[in-house]
């Protein structure tokens, strides 16, 4: 399906075009976590807050708050369609049918409702909070972020003529093709779409996903966007996120329980999913301390997603820990997912997958410089690497604007858990700049978990 994006942007009545067309238009892990929350924390209340980490961008001056309110209200009215629930019930995810319990799917159909929201503009930034039952607030994360990002896009599109829109999308399509051409046919390479939360628009993400599927073939393994997987017959990718250990730690009654929360979540998760979906995300309170203190059984998990740490360092650290635990890293999976673009994806694939790297490849890959200066390839696979490609897949319009300004550059906006049953929630991360929560609580958590392996590096997306 070929969409004339420039014509659509020029002629379409944006006010009548919903950003969120289906409740499946979210990351797959949100549905898996929703079932987990429904099962174990049905009476827990939770608050989520939108935070713009790119403070230099006054997003509240760009996005029309009335349009945002209308989009959020339209999303609140959505319900799961019976055909969607039948797909969730009958489809095979990660080789297993029946991941979603019948009682949970019945609850989705009859009782699931998104919570209300509190929206305002404060000093040029969007103030947006969702408070209510955890089951009613958790799903807002992706809907809110994709709405804000697309309204930012629409505000910039309105400034362009049809010819300028044509140029904008022609440049973006050319860039996408050049990226795909470099990845196509690379032996053993696996890439998936992780770009919903910061996408340029729904239509552009759909265009990108279809193009990736057509061009990359078996190198493209699926999308984290459940609706894209549903409508385009793709694998839905995802397991869990920081939200769960953050909540468990916030609910803890003493420091020992706080420290053990990151492992208690994993215990409950593997019980809930009968030993499936075992990809851990260890950086909520710092990856180094997580691995150093992890119970022996954690090494049985299938793999690890690296998010806020230099992926080369994180992968080496995980491999060393696996070997120390008596596990063969070649049987595990490492998923890189933070700020990836084609150069970094290829460098990581070469570093961990034993792939020959072209002599012309650039060398500015975070900490990969030393590797590229001394090695062009590694003799054998070290671990099975997958790339979860996000913002720079679905929202790379940098320098595509014919006016030459930065109106289409992505910004780092997040929607994170901020309170659980009235208690503050904290995320420390492997990057000091990504820490979230009240300053006093961040300091307390750092005393509990330490700061080993934590760095202070710029946040791009």
pLDDT for 406: 79
pLDDT for 10: 57
The answer to whether 335 touches 388, Cβ cutoff 8 Å, is yes
Token pair 């490849």: residue = 361
The answer to whether 142 touches 76, Cβ cutoff 8 Å, is no
Span 239-287, pLDDT tens digits? 999 999 999 999 999 999 999 999 999 999 999 999 899 999 999 999 9
Span 165-215, pLDDT tens digits? 999 999 999 999 999 999 999 999 999 999 999 999 999 999 999 999 999
In 239-316 the beta strands, taken as DSSP E runs, fall at 279-280, 303-306
pLDDT for 17: 76
How far apart, in whole angstroms, are the C-alpha atoms of residue 33 and residue 131?
A: 17
Nearest CA to 397 among 84, 174, 117? Answer: 174
pLDDT for 4: 72
* β-bridge pairing 279-280 and 303-306: parallel
How far apart, in whole angstroms, are the C-alpha atoms of residue 369 and residue 451?
A: 25
The secondary structure of 364-387 as a DSSP string is -SGGGHHHHHH-S--SS--SEEEE
H/E stretch holding 358 reads none
In 287-342 the beta strands, taken as DSSP E runs, fall at 303-306, 333-336
Q: What are phi and psi of 344, to 5 degrees?
A: -70, -40
Q: Is the pTM of this model over 0.75?
A: yes
Alpha-helical segments (H) within 5-125: 5-11, 28-40, 59-62, 65-76, 82-90, 102-110
The answer to whether 430 touches 314, Cβ cutoff 8 Å, is yes
Q: Which residues of the chain fall below pLDDT 50?
A: 1, 360-363, 369-370, 372-377, 379
DSSP SS3 for 272:
helix
pLDDT for 404: 87
The fold adopted by the segment(s) 1-78+114-461 is nicotinate phosphoribosyltransferase (3.20.140)
The answer to whether 411 touches 459, Cβ cutoff 8 Å, is no
Residues in the chain: 461
Number of Cβ atoms within 10 Å of the Cβ of 19: 25
Percent helix, percent strand, percent coil in the chain, to nearest 5: 50, 15, 40
pLDDT for 407: 87
Number of Cβ atoms within 10 Å of the Cβ of 123: 8
- Give the DSSP letter of residue 311: H
Q: How far apart are the first and last CA of the chain?
A: 30
């Amino acid at each position: 399906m070929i969409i004339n994006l420039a014509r659509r942007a020029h002629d379409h009545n944006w006010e009548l075009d919903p950003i969120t067309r289906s409740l499946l238009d979210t990351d797959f892990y949100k549905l898996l976590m929703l079932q987990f929350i429904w099962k174990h924390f049905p009476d827990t209340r939770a608050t989520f807050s939108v935070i713009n980490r790119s403070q230099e961008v006054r997003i509240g001056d760009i996005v029309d708050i009335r349009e945002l309110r209308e989009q959020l209200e339209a999303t609140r009215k959505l319900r799961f369609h019976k055909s969607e629930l039948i797909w969730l019930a009958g489809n095979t995810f990660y080789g297993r049918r029946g991941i979603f319990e019948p009682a949970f799917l019945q609850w989705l159909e009859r009782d699931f409702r998104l919570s209300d929201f509190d929206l305002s503009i404060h000093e040029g930034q969007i103030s947006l909070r969702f408070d209510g039952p955890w089951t009613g607030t958790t799903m807002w994360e992706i809907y809110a972020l994709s709405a804000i990002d697309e309204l930012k896009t629409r505000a910039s599109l309105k400034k362009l003529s049809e010819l300028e829109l044509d140029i904008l999308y022609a440049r973006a399509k050319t860039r996408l093709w050049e990226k795909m051409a470099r990845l196509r046919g690379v032996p053993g390479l696996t890439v998936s779409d992780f770009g919903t939360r910061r996408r340029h628009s729904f239509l552009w993400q759909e265009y990108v996903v279809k193009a990736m599927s057509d061009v990359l073939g078996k190198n493209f393994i699926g999308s984290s966007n459940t609706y894209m997987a549903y409508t385009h017959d793709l694998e839905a990718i995802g397991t869990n996120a920081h939200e769960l250990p953050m909540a468990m730690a916030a609910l803890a009654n003493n420091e020992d329980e706080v420290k053990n929360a990151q492992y208690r979540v994993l215990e409950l998760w593997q019980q809930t999913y009968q030993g499936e979906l075992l990809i851990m995300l260890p950086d909520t309170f710092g990856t180094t301390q997580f691995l150093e203190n992890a119970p022996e059984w954690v090494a049985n998990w299938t793999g690890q997603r690296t998010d806020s740490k230099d992926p080369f360092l994180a992968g080496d650290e995980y491999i060393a820990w696996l070997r120390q635990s008596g596990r063969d890293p070649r049987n595990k999976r490492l998923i890189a997912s933070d700020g990836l673009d084609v150069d970094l994806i290829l460098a990581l694939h070469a570093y961990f997958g034993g792939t020959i790297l072209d002599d012309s490849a650039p060398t500015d890959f975070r900490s990969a410089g030393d590797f590229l200066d001394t090695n062009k390839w590694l003799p054998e696979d070290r671990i099975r690497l997958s790339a979860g490609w996000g913002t720079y897949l679905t929202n790379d319009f940098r320098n595509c604007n014919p006016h030459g300004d930065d109106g289409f550059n992505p910004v780092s906006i997040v929607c994170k858990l901020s309170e659980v049953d009235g208690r503050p929630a904290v995320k420390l991360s492997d990057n000091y700049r990504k820490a979230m929560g009240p300053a006093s609580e961040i300091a307390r958590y750092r005393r509990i978990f330490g700061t080993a392996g934590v760095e202070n590096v710029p946040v791009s997306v």
